Amino acid sequence: MSEMNAQGRTRPDRTREWQALAKHRAELGEVHLRQLFADDPRRAERYTLTVGDLYLDYSKHLVTDETLTLLRELAAAMDVAGLRDAMFRGEKINTTEGRAVLHTALRAPESAVVEVDGENVVPAVHAVLRKMQVFTDRILSGDWKGHTGKRIRNIVNIGIGGSDLGPAMAYEALRPYTHRDLTFRFVSNVDGADLHEAVRDLDAAETLFIVASKTFTTIETITNATSARNWLLDRLGAGEEAVAKHFVALSTNAEKVAEFGIDTANMFEFWDWVGGRYSFDSAIGLSLMIAIGPDRFREMLAGFHLVDEHFRTAPFEENAPVLLGLLGIWYGNFHGAQSHAVLPYSHYLSKFPAYLQQLDMESNGKSVDRDGTPVTWQTGPVVWGTPGTNGQHAYYQLIHQGTELIPADLLGFARPVEELEPRLAAQHDLLMANLFAQGQALAFGKTAEEVEAEGVPADLVPHKTFRGNHPTTTILANELSPSVLGQLIALYEHKVFVQGAIWNIDSFDQWGVELGKVLAKRVEPALTEGTAVPGLDASTASLVARYRAARGR
Ligand code: F6P
């Protein structure tokens, strides 16, 4: 039944295993979670997994043992394990860019050997980590001084996409572990307002800019970095010689860093086998290392590594990223779900869904397979979410009673952070009660009979009935430590990998972002100079004209 593409990989929807899942889906019909729990008194205990500090309850999913077996058979048919092993071995599985995919090497222990083109990359990874540590220690001790001799108290990371979202998200997530006497800001948007708000109350003499860009050609970052340099030199009334004490670069591109005017001695290197959205453990994490200190940073890397090893070695029955990936396939490809909600019941994880948006949607938002053939199966979902309980008072209505099926991850922690005063810490029970209540309500709903029994008038019964049967995974840990954050991110990274492998797409390129970049460069002179843009469509031309008129041009 299977049909191979030119690279010898199978089109998933042509496999026997896919057809078996489609048949199974039809047979299951609209089976309700109430029924599945009634059928198996041990379901809540059997459908759980523990990985490191993470406890996953996947009992509230529309699956049976047979579903899970069939999904694993699909993973086998698509050789997920083979592609995984090739990734860990450093093979160039990012075929459209001809690159290895080795973010896992960024958190490998120093004794590990991971070769790219015959060269072990692990020593270089650790050399950069040590260089980051030396620099961090100098900032934290006050040994590194700004141009005027003042110590650094403000750190501004300038980057976008993978060069922003990871450090910005993790800084929020690990705030209780951060040096509270330092100020951290993250600038990404080319909207001048972003840099303006980030620096307006800072003393330039105490400010360090970290320019984070894998390519060092990204227009937003280079524009903001140039403006930051001008701001600094203006404020200090200094010349170019001040740059060295206030700018460092994180990049793979030494030539462009030097061209920008940053001494390559102040550059922290990484490599083309680290994808932007997978780069947070590389030098891109420098701002976070300064924020939480090198020891905590290494704890976080160890958390990532723990899940890497789990993903690499655990049988698929017990493999958490494999399980999460397969559940997503089940809903996307066999239930027609188009989005996936990530709902952290932790204020500190407020930026986690945005981080996952890039990780997942830039990786798996593809419509041709590895061979370039259009896919005939749905690929990556829209990933979204905000922290609970806020979302409950906004969009949960649609999850509960709308017409969409939206699988969701509910993330929570048993302990509030230590530094909360007792009265605030006591609110944690209420927070977590909401998490558990939502999982329960989404899964089991409230039947019309139950509503009627409460004496609700007949005409209101349909409005107050909750169908339930909305699937969730609950992910719990004791606390949001650096290690747990690393474990969580790696869990999602590998989930995305599993799905990309099954969909037979290249999860590690992002050609879809290119066209907009090229067109923006072309349109900009039309805005500023009124230059004619050849081939500009009528709608865009009229928008440009309107913009110019509003700006008095
Ligand atoms: O435009 C998309 C992208 O290439 C992302 O993949 C990347 O994380 C981001 O831009 C930033 O790129 P860079 O780190 O090279 O500035």
Listed in sequence order, the residues at least 6 apart from 436 whose beta carbon sits closer than 8 Å to its beta carbon are 474
DSSP output for 394-413: TTHHHHHHSSS---EEEEEE
- Cβ neighbours, 10 Å, residue 194: 18
CA of 290 to the centre of ligand 1 (A): 22
Complex ipTM > 0.90? yes
Contact 279, 251 (CB under 8 A): no
Q: Which of 160, 165, 277, 278 to mutate to test the pocket of ligand 1 (most atoms within 8 A of CB)?
A: 160
Closest CA to ligand 1's atom 2: 513
Eight-state DSSP code of residue 206? G
**What pTM did the predictor assign?**
0.97
CA distance 356 to 361: 8
* Ligand 1 atom having least distance to the Cα of 517: 1
Burial class (CB in 10 A: 0-12, 13-18, 19+), 453: exposed
Residuewise pLDDT in 10s, the chain (553 residues): 345 655 556 899 999 999 999 999 999 999 999 999 999 999 999 999 999 999 999 999 999 999 999 999 999 999 999 999 999 999 999 999 999 999 999 999 999 999 999 999 999 999 999 999 999 999 999 999 999 999 999 999 999 999 999 999 999 999 999 999 999 999 999 999 999 999 999 999 999 999 999 999 999 999 999 999 999 999 999 999 999 999 999 999 999 999 999 999 999 999 999 999 999 999 999 999 999 999 999 999 999 999 999 999 999 999 999 999 999 999 999 999 999 999 999 999 999 999 999 999 999 999 999 999 999 999 999 999 999 999 999 999 999 999 999 999 999 999 999 899 999 999 999 999 999 999 999 999 999 999 999 999 999 999 999 999 999 999 999 999 999 999 999 999 999 999 999 999 999 999 999 999 999 999 999 999 999 998 899 999 999 999 999 999 9
**Distance, first Cα to last Cα, the chain:** 63
3-state SS string over 506-528? CCCCCHHHHHHHHHHHHHHHHHH
Listed in sequence order, the residues at least 6 apart from 223 whose beta carbon sits closer than 8 Å to its beta carbon are 190
CA of 280 to the centre of ligand 1 (A): 12
CA distance 490 to 472: 20
Q: Which of 513, 517, 518, 521 to mutate to test the pocket of ligand 1 (most atoms within 8 A of CB)?
A: 513
CA distance 8 to 11: 10
Query: Among all residues, which ones are annotated catalytic?
Result: 362, 393, 517
Instruction: List, chain by chain if needed, residues with CB within 6 Å of any ligand 1 atom.
Output: 160-163, 213-215, 218, 221, 276-277, 362, 510, 513
